[in-house]
């Protein structure tokens, strides 16, 4: 459906058939899941079909607790044989407080005309496609940023697109922090003046790293930055946009603005304008060391 995650890897008909498979698996719109429905002694007794599927596929061994319920997804702490997992389960588009995604989608090439029409019409099938596309985009972006060496959580399914398509509407990534003490967001962390300066530098650096790759985050602020062992970790990537998007510059400016505003509580006094200039300057500098990912 979207060119963001389908490049070279998937033909249109394959995308559609994968989408149909997932579609059959959950027909009733789901909002926030109750933790009781996600846990049970025996896998077959778990009420939630997404969780049963993730366990059957070997991506998950158990869900431990709910961490946080956000606007469009709920984050859970879970486990797998790779360690502690942050399981982000998106609500169905119909069931979530509607987020205007049009601004992020502009300029995006949708190769599949049937899918493009369905998504535009916002019929229930169209909304399901948008949902699928949104979740797949978060994986694709996570993989891209992770491989490029940015400070983001490691995606735990993939990099093969077909593999991570099987986990929709969930995204599995490494939990930052520990199960008992997950990393706080920078919006909640208490920082000394020195820590605040370091966090600010890292946050500006993170935005510059993304810009160097041609991305604007689209929701960049201390609410989407984690703080763990003096490191800033960037999260929440479904809405990244590229220069193809006519709103790119506006989104970039808005990101710089919200970053500066959200850092005021840590005693950092910068304007959106000075922040954007610094981001642009640093984007011309050296990139982080890429990570090698074995297939």
Ligand X SMILES: Nc1ncnc2c1ncn2[C@@H]1O[C@H](COP(=O)(O)OP(=O)(O)OP(=O)(O)O)[C@@H](O)[C@H]1O
- Residues lying near Mg ion in the complex (CB under 5 A): 224, 236
Query: How many angstroms separate the CA atoms of 155 and 235, rounded?
Result: 11
Least Å distance, CB 223 to Mg ion, is 6
Query: How many angstroms separate the CA atoms of 285 and 205, rounded?
Result: 10
Query: How many angstroms separate the CA atoms of 160 and 57, rounded?
Result: 15
Two tokens, residue 50? 């997404």
DSSP 137-167: HHHHHHHHHHHTT-S-PPBSS-SSHHHHHTT
Coil vs helix vs strand at 58: coil
When asked if residue 68 is in the footprint of ligand X (CB under 6 A), the reply is yes
CB 225 within 8 A of CB 262: no
Query: How many angstroms separate the CA atoms of 56 and 162, rounded?
Result: 16
Least Å distance, CB 134 to ligand X, is 11
Please give the DSSP secondary-structure letter assigned to residue 221: S
CB 104 within 8 A of CB 241: yes
Q: Select from Mg ion, ligand X, none the partner in contact with residue 29, using the beta carbon and a kind-dependent cut-off of 5 to 8 Å.
A: none
Binding mask 177-216 for ligand X (x = CB under 6 A): x----xx-x-------------------------------
When asked if residue 259 is in the footprint of ligand X (CB under 6 A), the reply is no
Smallest CA-to-CA distance from 110 within 185, 248, 12, 209 is with: 12
Q: Select from ligand X, Mg ion, none the partner in contact with residue 153, using the beta carbon and a kind-dependent cut-off of 5 to 8 Å.
A: ligand X
Among 23-31, 124-132, 168-176, 241-249, the segment contacting ligand X (CB under 6 A): 168-176
Least Å distance, CB 266 to ligand X, is 17
Least Å distance, CB 137 to ligand X, is 13
CB 6 within 8 A of CB 15: yes
Least Å distance, CB 185 to ligand X, is 5
Binding mask 85-124 for ligand X (x = CB under 6 A): -x-x------------------------------------
Find the residue with minimal CB distance to Mg ion. Answer: 236
Residues in touch with ligand X (CB under 6 A): 67-68, 70-73, 75, 86, 88, 153, 173, 175-177, 182-183, 185, 223-224, 226, 235-236
């Amino acid at each position: 459906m979207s060119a963001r995650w389908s490049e070279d890897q998937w033909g249109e008909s394959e995308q559609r058939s994968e989408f149909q498979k997932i579609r059959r698996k959950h027909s009733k719109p789901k909002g926030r899941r109750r933790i009781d429905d996600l846990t049970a002694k025996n896998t077959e007794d778990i009420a939630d079909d997404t969780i049963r599927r993730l366990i059957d596929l070997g991506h998950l061994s158990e869900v431990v607790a709910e961490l946080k319920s956000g606007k469009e997804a709920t984050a859970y702490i879970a486990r797998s044989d790779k360690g502690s997992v942050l399981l982000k389960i998106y609500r169905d588009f119909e069931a979530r407080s509607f987020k205007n995604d049009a601004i992020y989608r502009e300029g995006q090439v949708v190769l599949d005309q049937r899918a493009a029409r369905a998504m535009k019409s916002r019929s229930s099938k169209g909304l399901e496609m948008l949902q699928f596309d949104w979740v797949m985009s978060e994986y694709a972006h996570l993989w891209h940023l992770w491989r490029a060496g940015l400070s983001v959580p490691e995606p735990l399914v993939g990099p093969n697109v077909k593999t991570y398509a099987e986990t929709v509407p969930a995204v599995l990534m490494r939990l930052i922090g520990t199960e008992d003490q997950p990393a706080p967001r920078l919006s909640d962390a208490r920082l000394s003046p020195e820590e605040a300066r370091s966090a600010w530098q890292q946050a500006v650096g993170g935005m510059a790293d993304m810009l160097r790759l041609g991305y604007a985050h689209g929701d960049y602020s201390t609410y989407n930055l984690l703080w763990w062992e003096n490191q800033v970790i960037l999260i929440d990537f479904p809405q990244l946009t590229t220069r193809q998007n006519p709103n790119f510059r506006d989104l970039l400016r808005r990101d710089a603005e919200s970053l500066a505003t959200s850092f005021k509580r840590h005693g950092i006094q910068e304007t959106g304008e000075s922040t954007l200039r610094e981001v642009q300057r640093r984007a011309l500098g050296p990139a982080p060391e890429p990570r090698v990912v074995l297939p």
